[in-house]
Structure 1
């Protein structure tokens, strides 16, 4: 079968499989979803931070020259600041359109407007998670395409590994979108659309891998900056609403569960890739 067709098929299957598996969360009855949602937010924090610090950032810095490290670090910092400015503009625009406290309204109106701005900020977090996930999936598609160009079997293994480590991430994404006020159908639709960027990345890798290799680390750190900003600026503050010991321990436990699952999935993917490389090396000898 043609390599390009294989890239399209496996990137599409990998992206959609992870979204649909995570979408099972949407099938839960409403009262179960409401009780599970705070745990999903905690899990998402761990998954986002682990995906950024244990996956995206190390991979971005893995093969770059020492002279490029300061530029990559600056890109990571700039990405976080850009997401802050974008969210600030979205909140300010909403505030300006509704004449909030910055326009001298009374205290009661100011309180309501501040609450509206907070809710809009949560909505912005959903927008950023879709953007960050789209970038992440696009980079995954490039990696899968590169693997297929190296060896078809390696490409298949890599696409399955990507789907496997994306499942817990997608669960967290659904939790964030629901927390941000998205309806279940829209949450599923936007996650499916974000997953299809995997196909675009794979096709682009097929036609222009040489050109994309130089810019790949920058895509990785931009995706990482998005995940870091969402976890630290938008999600972690919501965990401080409840401060009792039981809730705090549950939050810590689910954060660690998100970290552990992402790290274990990445470790499993690396083992499969290493085994496949050894098999290919043995055949070549």
Structure 2
């Protein structure tokens, strides 16, 4: 299969398919969603950290004739950049934060106004565009790395999209309109992937730096947005469940990265 076809297929997995999965999840009983959400978030933490430390960073460092100090500087600047973007409400990953909690409380009632829904769509479109760039860069390096990166993107997109659905519903959109708007914002993943395929294909020297920025993105999402929400549960059983789900996420990414080599 041509490389561009791989990129387009897994860009769909990381965006539109994740949105559809979140939409399907939303129609399930509320009690089931509440029980399943912590497991999804824990799995996403493992997938993101596994992709960053076991796939993206090693592949970037092993790239021919690349200064590791320059790569680590790019990773550090990436982390700081994502922090600043989130501060300016351009990068909204708050899967388990107050934004999504309040949105769920007002979902379907129109209590939170329409402006937050617009901000969510804008932030998601930008975020999904960048995801497309990262997926394309990973595939241009190695098919196994591309698959692992796409799975990590998909893993954290499902809980994120659930929160975004709640914001859109709370701002007065119908379920169908919220789904269509999320699919529209998710389509920017394909745009980012196609543009990156042609741009990075002509400038191969940039690939390792894009990979470490991708790793920085995954680490930031896992550490700044997802893990704090897991600390809300202190029961021994919950801790064990979190460790198992995180470990499963790591194993899946390790397997996906290795099986295609």
Matched, 1:24 2:24: no
Q: Which runs of 5+ in 1 are unaligned?
A: 92-113, 145-157, 271-285
Provide the C-alpha distance between the structure 2 equivalents of 1:127 and 1:38, rounded to a whole number of angstroms. Answer: 25
Structure 1 residue 247 displacement after superposition: 1.2
TM-score scaled by structure 1? 0.65
Q: Which residue of 2 aligns with 1:194?
A: 189
Provide the C-alpha distance between the structure 2 equivalents of 1:247 and 1:125, rounded to a whole number of angstroms. Answer: 32
State the SS of the aligned residue for 2:88. Answer: helix
Q: Which runs of 5+ in 2 are unaligned?
A: 91-96, 103-115, 169-177
CA distance 1:17–1:88, shift in 2 (3 Å): closer
Provide the C-alpha distance between the structure 2 equivalents of 1:18 and 1:88, rounded to a whole number of angstroms. Answer: 25
Contact residue 129 and residue 173 of structure 1 kept, 8 A? no
Matched, 1:178 2:162: yes
Structure 1 residue 191 displacement after superposition: 3.5
Q: Which residue of 2 aligns with 1:148?
A: none
State the SS of the aligned residue for 2:89. Answer: helix
Structure 1 residue 135 displacement after superposition: 3.1
Measured on the aligned residues, the alpha-carbon RMSD in Å equals 3.4
Q: Which residue of 1 aligns with 2:239?
A: 248
Structure 2 matches for 1:53-68, cutoff 5 A? 53-65=53-65, 68=67
Q: Which residue of 1 aligns with 2:74?
A: 75
Structure 1 residue 205 displacement after superposition: 4.9
Give deviations 1:120-173, integer Å, cap 9, x for gaps.
9xx6996785355233213135347xxxxxxxxxxxxx38x8457624541321
Q: What is the number of equivalent residue pairs in this alignment?
A: 223
Greater share of residues in helix: 1
CA distance 1:60–1:168, shift in 2 (3 Å): closer
State which of 138, 154, 161 in structure 2 corresponds to 1:140: 138
Q: Which moved more, 1:123-132 or 1:228-237?
A: 123-132
CA distance 1:65–1:12, shift in 2 (3 Å): closer
Q: Which residue of 2 aligns with 1:46?
A: 46
Structure 1 residue 188 displacement after superposition: 4.0
Q: Which residue of 1 aligns with 2:230?
A: 239
